[in-house]
Structure 1
């Protein structure tokens, strides 16, 4: 069976993948995902496709990952980053910090907090995320508990939010509506598939700079090559030595840095490079949503308890590296100093409160429009 524009139906793609795996190309993978996102595939076909992709080792092939990410983005709702008074160039660098999840460490929401602190330090951050899937508390869960109305944010709101707050959260379910067809199948399979690594690659804003954490050192060079294939530059893929999808506070972390010319440089970094002491990962463990909210409130209000020091330093290291990669800081130590000032001055706290207030206003306006009709 052949679908519109000569594209194959998922059933035929799946048959090719099972019976002729050596001839399965990135284009075939993209065609299969396209069929799913158009609602043409059955649950059985989608389950078979995801399982076959995993067994085929697609998540170890940069070209396959890039093809799937490109297809996802081609079906996403892409915000236009401009306002009545600003062009895209006027916004300067827009960045993201995000991890694949799935590392099993269940640490505090480091990248979410770092995105707020980085924005408070002067960087525009378009944070792409969702609710928890492999942890107790996802980025959306935490921000919603802090008063943010995230599912109200639409593509037309992104530019204004970035302009006003230097921060915006892009809820994956809002900006990738076509992926809804796969949601139940992914949950029911109960094992990671290649789609687990696509989230960090498919921010609809397509940030200028990003720090992307991966859950295993083996995935680091694969993710970096996939980013290179996608044309991304000035991105850094990181993995803690413990197979942590953040820069580790406990010791060495590995970096695969895609430079402006496309060269990928591999190096290691250590908390000492940021002027920060090491802490065991257990000291920065996350917990329930309620506990993580309480920790975030203490961090942002600068009312730390002894148990919060490791989490704070964890946030400073990851924020500092993002500011360095984004060009806001000339060194990792300078980035950490800027992050510390943004956190301890209360700027990050004020930013979150104002962002939450704006999103609640957007929600109220939407509810009022709905009531009128």
Structure 2
């Protein structure tokens, strides 16, 4: 994390972690996440003014290439009044990462610094925390991780490394066996009111196709396990996952514009419902909705009101202004 290890030392360390199977050891995962956070750039947020700070994020790696659900849900939740610090990066295991999608819509994510976060959250209830900006120490590991060519425990650390340390969060994992491990790691890190989720298809989001497994880390530190279902818990119909894929950046961009502009096509309905379920559960976990069904209803009303599209446009303009200021400062 300080750039003092050689590439061969880092490769040996990561390989040893993999061979020892520590991606199934909550204590090791928590220790790695804590060290990464200790080396992160941390925004100075006035939490009394923000209220509950939340995030919704997945580990990736599930192989389903679904639409950017967590990114869209974070925007919808922010427009509904929840303070969202969306931690993300460009695509590594999917066709289109959260940063890729937002940048294609005019957001200048590289120009959001830790000092800008409090202002953006206060103004928009939303801020994107670009992993490469807020975790500069991770650059030392980047080449070694690429060269190794296999997943290491660092592949699942992303959701634990939000430098704002949200009060509430939904964290998706790509395999059901990882659910209780991730929940225990969160408990060790002192997090509370978090939900780790995994769709029955080993999906790192709440599934629109059927049941989703939940490991709910309560305020008391107890971890409750239960399953949820779109129809039963949210009043939303199920759809095959094949109807909720995003095959490319261009497709995802078009779908998001239609969704937020209330011009959805028949082919977009599964994705819209997918967003409602995930946003609804986030609003429920964060205390903005009394039930999951109410959360989905709030999400639908928020999208139909046009507030989400307006938020996205205004936030894009704010980041463009930050870019202009930065380039002007460098030119002086």
Alignment pair present for 1:129 and 2:88: yes
Q: TM-score, normalised by structure 2?
A: 0.99
**Match of residue 292 from structure 1:** 252
SS at 1:40's partner residue? Answer: coil
SS at 1:218's partner residue? Answer: helix
**Match of residue 56 from structure 1:** 20
Q: CA deviation at 1:232?
A: 0.2
**Match of residue 118 from structure 1:** 77
Alignment pair present for 1:361 and 2:325: no
Write the mapping of 1:4-15 to structure 2, written as runs, cut at 5 A. none
Q: CA deviation at 1:351?
A: 0.5
Structure 2: distance between partners of 1:108 and 1:60: 28
Q: CA deviation at 1:90?
A: 2.0
Match of 2:195 among 229, 236, 241: 236
Match of 1:210 among 144, 148, 169: 169
Runs of 4+ in 1 over 6 A off after TM superposition: none
Structure 2: distance between partners of 1:148 and 1:190: 31
Structure 1: distance between partners of 2:80 and 2:247: 27
How many residue pairs align between the two structures?
A: 331
Q: TM-score, normalised by structure 1?
A: 0.88
Match of 1:148 among 78, 100, 107: 107
**Match of residue 256 from structure 1:** 215
Q: CA deviation at 1:38?
A: 1.0
SS at 1:53's partner residue? Answer: helix
**Match of residue 292 from structure 2:** 332
SS at 1:295's partner residue? Answer: helix
SS at 1:266's partner residue? Answer: strand
Q: CA deviation at 1:89?
A: 1.3
Residue segments in structure 1 that go unaligned for 5+ positions in a row: 1-36, 83-87
Match of 1:192 among 151, 166, 178: 151
**Match of residue 181 from structure 1:** 140
SS at 2:314's partner residue? Answer: helix
Match of 1:225 among 170, 184, 190: 184
Q: CA deviation at 1:209?
A: 0.2
Structure 2: distance between partners of 1:352 and 1:183: 30
Alignment pair present for 1:349 and 2:309: yes
Structure 1: distance between partners of 2:265 and 2:211: 26
Structure 2: distance between partners of 1:243 and 1:346: 33
Match of 1:304 among 255, 264, 288: 264
**Match of residue 27 from structure 1:** none
Match of 2:243 among 256, 259, 283: 283
Structure 1: distance between partners of 2:301 and 2:328: 40
Structure 1: distance between partners of 2:33 and 2:217: 18
Structure 2: distance between partners of 1:144 and 1:153: 12
Q: CA deviation at 1:42?
A: 1.0
Structure 2: distance between partners of 1:234 and 1:289: 33
**Match of residue 18 from structure 1:** none
Q: CA deviation at 1:119?
A: 0.4
Structure 2: distance between partners of 1:367 and 1:54: 42
Cα offsets for 1:4-59 (capped at 9, x unmatched): xxxxxxxxxxxxxxxxxxxxxxxxxxxxxxxxx11111111111111110110111
**Match of residue 34 from structure 1:** none
Q: CA deviation at 1:196?
A: 0.7
Higher RCO structure, 1 or 2 (CA under 8 Å, sep 6+): 2
Structure 2: distance between partners of 1:106 and 1:192: 18
SS at 1:314's partner residue? Answer: helix
Write the mapping of 1:71-86 to structure 2, written as runs, cut at 5 A. 71-82=35-46
SS at 2:207's partner residue? Answer: coil
What RMSD, in angstroms, separates the aligned Cα atoms of the two structures? 0.5
